[in-house]
Every structure is written in C-alpha cells, then in structure tokens.
Copies of this chain bind each other. A is one copy, B any other.
Amino acid sequence: MPPKAKVTIKDVALKAGCGIATASRVLNNSGPTSAEVRERVNRAALDLGFSFSAIGRALQSSKSMTVGCLVPSLANPVFAEAVQGVQNELVGTNYQLLISSSNYDDKADDAAISTLVSKEVDGLIVTMVAPERSPALKLAHQRGIPASLMFHDPIKGFATSYVDNFEAARDVAQRFSECGHRRTGFLALRLATSDRSRNRYAGFHAECRARGMPDPALIELSETDANRPEKLAAILAAHPDLTAIFASNDFLAIAVQKAARLLGWIVPRDLSVVGFDGIEIGKLLDVPLATIETMPEKMGRQAAKSLLTAMQGGVLEQLPPLPFRFRAGATLAAPRAKSRDDGRVAAQPPSVPLIKTILKQG
C-alpha cells in the first residue's frame, strides 16, 4: 500500500487503460460508459485511493464550492452560535465554510472580505461593523457574488437575517413603563462598532419618549471595564436615580446584578435589570434574568438557506425578521417607591437611526 502523495484522474485512467475523459465520465456518472470500463475504472480508483482534487475542479468549473463567512469574533457566543447555524445548514450540501473575523475593526472587515473574494468564494455571509459602507462588500456585489447578511437591519441590495432590535428594545421600554419605571439606563459595549446596540438604544429611547419617560441614560462601558464589576458599580452609583437598566447583552446584565450587589443594592427591589440575547445561564441564576430571547442559530441557518438558493441561481429575497421573545425573570419588578422624578439631564438622542426613531413614533 503505497499512499502516493497525489493520485490524479490521469493515474486512474492509466491504470484502467482508458482515456481520462472516460475515467472522468465513470467517476462522475456523467455520460455513457460501458459496464466493463466502468468496472475497471472504479477498481483502479479504489486501488489507488483516488479522490478528486477540489482545486482542479474549482479551476475548471470556476465554482469553489466554498462559502465565506465573516463575523466580528467567535469569542462572542452569539456569533459563534450563528456560525454554527450556518454550518448546520451547509452540512449535506457540497459547500464548505471559510471563516474570518475582524475583531470589531472595520478596516479588518474590509480586508477579510477582500481575502475571501480572492479565494473565489461562491457566496458570502457577513456580519460587520458597517456593511453599508464597505468598499470590499460592494465590489463583491459587483462581481456577482451573492451575499447574505446576519444580525443587520435590511440594507438595499442585500438580504439579511436579523431580529428587529428596535422593536425588541421598545418591548423592554414598554415593560419598564408598565412596571412603573421612569428613569432608566441603557448599558452597552462598543456602541460605535455595533449597529445592533445602536438600534436597541434607538428603539428603547423612542419608546421611552413615546411614553413620556425621561430619555434613558446612555452608559457605554469600555471593553476592559466590562470585566470589572467594581468599575460598573461606581458608574451605577453615579446614577442613583435610575430604577431600571436595559443591558445590551446578558453578560452585561449579569454584571449589573453583580455591581448592584457590590453596592448593597438588591435586584430587583433597588434596581431592575433586563438583558438581551437569552443565554441559558440566565435561567439558572439565583435571581433569574429577564431578557429578550433571540435565535442566533436560526439566524445563521436562515442566512445560509437564503444564500444557497441564491447560489443555485435563485434570487436573494428578504425574509421577515426572526422573532424575539421576552423572557420573564425576577430581575424585573416594580421600583421601590421613592418619588423623586424631578429635573435631570436627558441623555443625548440617538445619532444614527434617527429616521427610524422619528418614523416609528409618528
């Protein structure tokens, strides 16, 4: 058994005593072949341990049978799950998944897309800092490479699989309001590089306004402070009037619980918290986390499904957003009665999705 470094179809044809065209036809079941030569070719292929060179095939067919996928980081479980969803959908097709990540850097985003394109991927599935102004993505589009977005709100020219962050955030504001909260805060990480967080803030802000609540305090946490509960506690202490915090993800929400504990505050008596994403651990906490449940895996699946039909010549069409669901939890309750709703500075209004805000408020 000599596992020759490279056994090509030429070797097979030689051993089977036929032309490579015939061997190709046998091996692919394409075109007519006699039973006798079929037998010889198959035996030769088996003996030699032949397998097709995907590269040779790709060159000749100009189809790489590869899908490129870009997300900010796999260290974020939400994106990791989404990529797994893509993968799950791709299993069973002949497509392979080429991945890349940008670490939330829009320059890296562009470079990554370019690289994927030069690898001649047949399609793209991307979540990036700013897809609407990525030259590389536009170029890919011009070259006819179908692209499917994940997590992003719809953009002209692309299909996207997403959850309506704006609406979900409005839901949270509504529940805060119904509980009797008025002064609220919105806590996020990396607002500048996450349209998701911005959209959540916009929706939250819009609904607070619509209900006559003061504008929510916008609290942005630095990457490093996210892992320093005492830092977060100090920030919370500086906002003693807030009775409810909407955190842009569940990890932050749990960090808020911790920070509150450090301050001697009791959740939800002294501070209500609602998270976003719906991670399982939230259910297991001493005080189970109220949150918005989303479906990252489904998001990936849907993006992949759309892309597959597009790559098979179909048209990329925009589906409705995936559903979200409010998960009740003990971190949300009515605020303790402490009536001081007087003059406080309002947070600045949302900058980016202003149109949407105005639109939805009517």
A59 touches B62 (CB 8 A): no
B87 touches A100 (CB 8 A): yes
A51 touches B117 (CB 8 A): yes
Across the interface, A297 reaches (CB within 8 A) one of B62, B75, B101, B281, namely B75
Residues of B near A99 (CB, < 8 A) are 83, 87, 97-99
Across the interface, A96 reaches (CB within 8 A) one of B6, B73, B98, B139, namely B98
B64 touches A74 (CB 8 A): no
B119 touches A96 (CB 8 A): yes
> Given the complex of chains A and B, what is the CA–CA distance between A101 and B74 in angstroms?
14
Q: Which of A51-72 contact B (CB under 8 A)?
A: 51-56, 58-59, 62, 64, 66
> Given the complex of chains A and B, what is the CA–CA distance between A49 and B138 in angstroms?
13
A83 touches B87 (CB 8 A): no
> Given the complex of chains A and B, what is the CA–CA distance between A108 and B96 in angstroms?
14
Nearest B residue (CB) for A117:
B51
Residues of B near A114 (CB, < 8 A) are 51
Q: Does A181 contact B (CB under 8 A)?
A: no
Residues of B near A143 (CB, < 8 A) are 3, 5
Nearest B residue (CB) for A87:
B101
Q: Does A261 contact B (CB under 8 A)?
A: yes
Residues of B near A142 (CB, < 8 A) are 3
A62 touches B6 (CB 8 A): yes
A255 and B227 in contact (CB under 8 A), knowing A74-B80, A84-B74, A144-B5? no
Across the interface, A81 reaches (CB within 8 A) one of B74, B255, B258, B297, namely B74
A286 touches B287 (CB 8 A): yes
Copies of this protein chain in the complex: 2
> Given the complex of chains A and B, what is the CA–CA distance between A200 and B183 in angstroms?
49
Residues of B near A227 (CB, < 8 A) are 280
B251 touches A280 (CB 8 A): yes
Q: Does A254 contact B (CB under 8 A)?
A: yes
Q: Which of A70-121 contact B (CB under 8 A)?
A: 73-75, 77, 80-81, 83-84, 87-88, 91, 96-101, 103, 108, 114-120
> Given the complex of chains A and B, what is the CA–CA distance between A229 and B284 in angstroms?
8
**A107 to B: closest C-beta gap in Å:** 12
Q: Does A46 contact B (CB under 8 A)?
A: no
Q: Does A243 contact B (CB under 8 A)?
A: no
Nearest B residue (CB) for A64:
B55
Q: Does A291 contact B (CB under 8 A)?
A: no
Residues of B near A281 (CB, < 8 A) are 251, 254, 281
A98 touches B98 (CB 8 A): yes
Q: Does A357 contact B (CB under 8 A)?
A: no
Nearest B residue (CB) for A7:
B143
Q: Does A165 contact B (CB under 8 A)?
A: no
A81 touches B75 (CB 8 A): yes
> Given the complex of chains A and B, what is the CA–CA distance between A74 and B76 in angstroms?
11
**A112 to B: closest C-beta gap in Å:** 9
Across the interface, A257 reaches (CB within 8 A) one of B52, B58, B284, namely B284
A115 touches B98 (CB 8 A): no
Residues of B near A18 (CB, < 8 A) are none
- Ranked 3 nearest A-B pairs via Cβ: A80-B80, A74-B84, A258-B284
Pairs A–B under 8 Å by Cβ, sample size 21 = A5-B143, A51-B118, A54-B119, A55-B59, A55-B64, A59-B59, A66-B119, A74-B81, A74-B83, A74-B87, A77-B80, A80-B80, A88-B103, A91-B108, A97-B98, A229-B284, A257-B286, A258-B285, A261-B286, A281-B281, A285-B285
